[in-house]
Amino acid sequence: MEEFRNSVITVCIVTAASAILGNLVSGTRLKNQIQLMLDLVIAIAVITPFTKGGSPALPELNDIDTPDYSYSQELYNEELKRQTSENVRDVLMQQIQAAGINCVQLEVLVNISEDGSISISRVIVSSDSFEAAAEIIRNSLGADTEVLNGDT
């Protein structure tokens, strides 16, 4: 690993020096000859690690520290439940308020099954007209949605 790093550093330094020298002699008559010599020096710097005992040692994939991007399916499902609940609550709140009903609290309970399907089985609502709010919720989410009065 150390040899590989040294080889890369050497090639970078030689290439940088070649570029600087190439720019310094760009206006002279010997420009093409000097550029050829600099290209040969770069070629030697690149080839040398391969001629010293075979190919340079490439880094092992296990030697490279990579961040762990794995996540728990449980955490993912919990965040999905929270975000879905929040989005559905906002939409239902807008619909209830658009109907002229004062809604104090609205809680949407979201379930995620093993196959990844999302269902909303229960909604808890606190409003000045529970029956009207429950009707709007059932019309939006389905007639089988359980709507509970949060005032009781």
* CA dist list (Å): 101 to 62, 92, 95, 105, 137: 61, 12, 9, 12, 12
Which CATH number do you get for residue 101?
A: 3.30.300
Q: 33-70: per-residue pLDDT in tens?
A: 878 887 888 888 778 777 766 555 555 555 556 666 56
Q: How many domains does the chain have?
A: 2
Does residue 39 sit within a domain? yes
Q: Are residues 58 and 93 in the same domain?
A: no
pLDDT in tens, 89-128: 999 999 999 999 998 889 999 888 888 788 888 899 998 8
Sheet strands side by side (includes 118-127): 103-112, 118-127, 146-149
68 in a structural domain: no
100 by DSSP, 3-state: which?
coil
